[in-house]
């Protein structure tokens, strides 16, 4: 490990990065069991306030940590993440644990096996000590759920952590270990990462096999550092035949993130084209990020947003219909259990025609076309991650209106539909000290390049505020 300053030397074990944990295990500075006990004590102080976890299993984690400690003691770790604590989002199956999808209306049936990314994490030796919470069916950018307790943001407990990877965002920002796995179909990794001050990576579509697979749906890391994000990607971006939409195996160098911004063509998108306008603090942070790259030699040009009202409303219609397909199969008693916001939104699709729904889905291809055209002229794109700084913890979305549910995802959702890799990284803070995310987008399949740009930005952005601490007793 690198020589530590006095300040670094007193860093709690639960605050160490995955990279430093592995180095510490190898140097026999501490063991996985010691790290886990420190982590469990830290979670005990935070969790009554955050409510970020589901299927929390400290006893199972202790057994796994003891086995990892024995392996490290013998100099035979089982994989690149041996002994590293990890959480996995509710909707990513782990063997023996029900998958409620954040909804009381879903029947609780233990999963028969690990989904692909969870299987890769377990094979790498990580300790999956808990799942993390999410809203009903993953269709909210919020910690609000009919099944889970309300998740809150550790930077300000009155604020929302975002979603749908809500518990993962809260857990990562609060220091529930270094690695957290979320999913993203419209911004569900990047949005909570932005509102929680994290690195949240949406890889190219198909880079990380997932089950069930769906158009635009990816699994991705939520971490405090870019290096930890890359370490996790090196584990989960491995082939699995269960995902018929996954990319062919490719020997990517996830450790090779050194990238010079010099002479790169970067677009700055401050206006998404539709949806909520970016608040003043959000714009200022995005502009500051662009200027940092410009000072490092990049050629920065402001570009127009690519999303239109027809595109956003079309996606909304299609997703409403997709949601109603699920909800309409429930009994009236089961439907009554669904979060009212979600049910009202989904039920409205009953009035849509088949042509309306097809027209909505076809907006996916329209978005792909304009995204491809944009990246003919650019190497990378910088934008805000979300248009707003924060919103109340008990709101279902930044508008809190089921008839206007996606006004806040206009910076993020295009890249799910176009399949481009995109990362949210903390760009700065508002006047009250709340984090504001900046998004960096690259061409399809340029996952290493996007993380390289995020790594470069870590060095350009300057000192960050300390991570939040648990409320005093």
What are the catalytic residues? 89, 164, 188
Structure confidence at residue 462 (pLDDT): 84
Q: What is the pLDDT of residue 143?
A: 97
Flag whether the pTM goes above 0.75: yes
Nearest to 195 by CA among 41, 425, 463: 425
What residue has token string 């990047």?
A: 190
473 pLDDT band, cuts 50/70/90, is confident
Alpha carbon 305 to its chain centroid, in Å, reads 23
Residue 270 CA to residue 117 CA, distance in Å, equals 34
Query: Are 118 and 128 a contacting pair, CB within 8 Å?
Result: yes
How does pLDDT run across 29-70, given as a tens digit for each residue? Answer: 999 999 999 999 999 999 999 999 999 999 999 999 999 999
9 has pLDDT over 80: no
User: What mean pLDDT comes out for the span 111-134?
Assistant: 98
pLDDT of residue 11: 79
Q: Is pLDDT at 360 greater than 60 in this prediction?
A: yes
What pLDDT score does 10 carry?
Answer: 56
Q: 231-277 pLDDT, tens per residue?
A: 999 999 999 999 999 999 899 999 999 999 999 999 999 999 999 99
**Is pLDDT above 70 for 5?**
no
Half-sphere exposure (Cβ direction) of 318: Cα atoms closer than 13 Å: 15
Average pLDDT, the chain: 96
> What is the architecture of the domain spanning 13-461?
Alpha-Beta Complex (3.90)
CB atoms within 10 A of CB 332: 6
The string of pLDDT tens digits covering residues 388-432 is: 999 999 999 999 999 999 999 999 999 999 999 999 999 999 999
Phi and psi, residue 268, nearest 5°: -115, 115
């Amino acid at each position: 490990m690198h020589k530590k300053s006095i300040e670094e030397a007193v860093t709690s074990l639960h605050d160490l990065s995955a990279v430093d944990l592995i180095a510490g295990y190898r140097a026999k500075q501490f063991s996985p069991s010691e790290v886990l006990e420190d982590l469990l004590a830290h979670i005990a102080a935070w969790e009554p306030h955050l409510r970020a976890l589901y299927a929390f299993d400290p006893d199972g984690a202790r057994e796994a940590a003891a086995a990892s400690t024995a392996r490290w003691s013998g100099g035979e770790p089982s994989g690149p993440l041996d002994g590293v604590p990890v959480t996995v989002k509710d909707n990513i199956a782990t063997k023996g644990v029900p998958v409620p999808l954040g909804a009381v209306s879903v029947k609780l049936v233990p999963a028969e096996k690990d989904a692909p990314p969870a299987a890769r994490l377990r094979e790498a030796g990580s300790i999956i000590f808990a799942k993390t919470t999410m809203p009903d069916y993953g269709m909210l950018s919020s910690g609000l759920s009919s099944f889970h307790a309300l998740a809150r943001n550790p930077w300000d407990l009155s604020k929302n952590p975002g979603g749908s990877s809500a518990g993962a965002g809260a857990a990562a920002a609060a220091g529930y270990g270094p690695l957290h796995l979320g999913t993203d179909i419209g911004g569900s990794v990047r949005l909570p990462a932005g509102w929680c001050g994290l690195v949240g990576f949406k890889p190219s579509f198909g880079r990380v096999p997932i089950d069930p697979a769906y158009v635009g749906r990816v699994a991705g890391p939520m971490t405090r550092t870019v290096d930890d994000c890359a370490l996790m990607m090196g584990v989960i971006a491995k082939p699995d035949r269960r995902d018929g939409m996954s990319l062919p195996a490719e020997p990517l160098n996830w450790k090779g993130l050194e990238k010079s911004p010099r002479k790169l063509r970067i677009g700055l998108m401050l206006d998404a084209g539709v949806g909520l306008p970016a608040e003043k603090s959000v714009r200022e942070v995005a502009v500051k990020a662009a200027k940092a790259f410009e000072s490092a030699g990049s050629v920065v040009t402001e570009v127009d947003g690519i999303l239109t009202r027809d595109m956003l409303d079309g996606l909304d219609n299609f997703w409403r219909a997709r949601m109603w397909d699920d909800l309409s199969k429930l009994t009236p008693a089961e439907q009554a259990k669904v979060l009212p916001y979600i049910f009202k939104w989904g039920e409205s699709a009953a009035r849509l025609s088949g042509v309306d729904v097809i027209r909505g889905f076809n907006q996916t291809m329209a978005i792909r076309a304009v995204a491809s055209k944009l990246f003919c002229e650019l190497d990378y794109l910088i934008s805000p991650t979300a248009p707003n700084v924060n919103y109340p913890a008990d709101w279902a979305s930044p508008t809190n209106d089921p008839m206007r549910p996606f006004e806040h995802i206009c910076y993020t959702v295009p890249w799910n539909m176009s399949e481009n890799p995109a990362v949210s990284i903390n760009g700065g803070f508002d006047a009250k000290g709340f984090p504001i995310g900046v998004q960096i987008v690259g061409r399809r399949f340029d996952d290493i390049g996007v993380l390289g740009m995020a790594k470069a930005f870590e060095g350009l952005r300057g000192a960050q505020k300390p991570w939040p601490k648990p409320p005093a007793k």
